[in-house]
Structure 1
Amino acid sequence: MSPELIKRLTEHQPSLIGLEQCRQAAVLIPLLETPDGVQIVLEQRSPKLKHQPRDICLPGGAIEAGETPRQAAVREACEELLLRPEQIQVFGLMDVLHTNTLMLYPYAAKLTDYDMTYSTAEVERVFCVPLSFFQTQKPEQYRITLPVHPPEDFPLSRIVGGKQYQWRERREDIVFYQYQDWTIWGITAKILQAFARITR
């Protein structure tokens, strides 16, 4: 092997294959210190939003060009909760969530002088859930199956089995928490389930 090839192999920094097909986003896990213990601030999305109206979520959104995931999480939290960056003390990156279509970076952070403000353009309301709830409550879990649908021009004749090829179905666990009247589910619930394991 040539020295150039060996150099390329030994100095390569691995990345995730297919990452360019994933939407990359970041969220903040906003923590408040209260007399009743640490609380997590959650949002109910505005009914005016096109995607997931009225779902419960963490502040966050897409990572913009030239922006780090951490910068995106702070920027989105400032926009959605009407915060100033100096009100956010970021502790660090928590467990990253990766699906076929999304790479999501969650950052734990403490909020100071936060008065439950929010932007009505994106948020219908905000509320708090004790961290201890997620640490002690076992979530419901349901497995869904997502079938494969090749496009019409897919070259089935070139693979063994052709039209009868046995595609492996994609399975995904969907997590639910019920806190009072609030249903916290999906990606938000998965992020909080992982966060509870870290903090428990």
Structure 2
Amino acid sequence: MLEKIKRRIEKHQAQPIGEQRTFAVFLPLVKVDEEWHVLYEVRSNHISQPGETSFPGGAVEEGESFEEAAVRETMEELNVSKESIEVYGEIDFIFNQSHHIRCFVGELKHINPDQLQPNEEVASVFTIPLRYLKENEPEYHTVTLKTEYNHDFPFELISNGKKYKFGKRKHKVPFYRLPNQFLWGFTADFTHRFIEIISEDTNFLEGKNEK
């Protein structure tokens, strides 16, 4: 029996517990008036979270990698060719009990944001200069997440029953203050982490532009 358990555990590939939905997004860099910008989408009224700011991206489909999903979603949402998308690599990701979101960074080549004709999921697009994001960090505000339970929750199966003290989880949410636009939550998280990573480069800190 113990030998069977050992063999089974040796072969098992560890996975997160729960039913995480997997998503991939693309943080696109575009050149506007000889200056590098980050491009964002405004979600249309036809999809969830209408009016919110996001990066191109969506759910990872069966059989594709996170990067493939990010590229496919970018092509579909912005109506651009695969050849116009150059993926540089991946930055830090977001992972919790319900979501696993990976973020890829790259360039939209030979693209004029004003001439993009996105699909029905996108109400509009806008860009923010890298320099602005470097010089204006987000502000973080804390929210407290409390546990809610259904009327049939089996308190009799836990110690102290209804007097059990469920923990309250605090979560810091980033916000950028922008004129006429919203930028907060996961999209702001990825934006801020991206700026932190590239700001480790001395050339970027000094404002030098290599391309």
Deviations 1:150-200 (A, max 9, x none): 222221111111001100012221110023322201111111111111111
> Distance in 2 between the 1:9 and 1:197 partners?
39
2:104 counterpart letter in structure 1: Y
Q: If the length of structure 1 is used for normalisation, what is the TM-score?
A: 0.89
> Within 5 Å, which residues of 2 pair with 1:30-45?
30-45=28-43
Match in the other structure for 2:170 = 171
2:163 alignment partner AA: Q
Alignment of 1:151-190 (within 5 A): 151-190=150-189
RMSD value, Cα? 1.9
Query: Equivalent residue of 2:22, what SS?
Result: strand
Assess if the C-alpha contact under 8 Å between 2:47 and 2:121 holds in 1: no
User: Which residue of structure 2 aligns with residue 119 of structure 1?
Assistant: 118
Q: Residue in 1 aligned with 2:64?
A: 67
Q: Percent identity?
A: 32
SS of 1:51's partner is: coil
Q: Distance in 2 between matches of 1:15 and 1:172?
A: 24
Partners of 2:97 and 2:131 in 1: CA distance: 31
Q: Any unmatched runs of 5+ in structure 1?
A: none
Unaligned runs of 5+ in 2: 200-211
Deviates more, 1:107-116 or 1:3-12: 3-12
Distance 1:144 1:167, change over 3 A: same
Aligned pairs, number: 197
Aligned pairs for 1:46-85 (under 5 A) are 46=44, 48-85=45-82
Which residue type is aligned with residue 23 of structure 1?
R
1:123 CA displacement: 1.1
Matches within 5 A, 1:1-150: 5-10=5-10, 12-18=12-18, 21-46=19-44, 48-116=45-113, 117-150=116-149
SS in 2 for 1:113: coil
Give me the TM-score of the superposition, normalised by structure 2: 0.85
CA shift digits 1:93-114 (9 cap, x unpaired): 2111113321111100111121
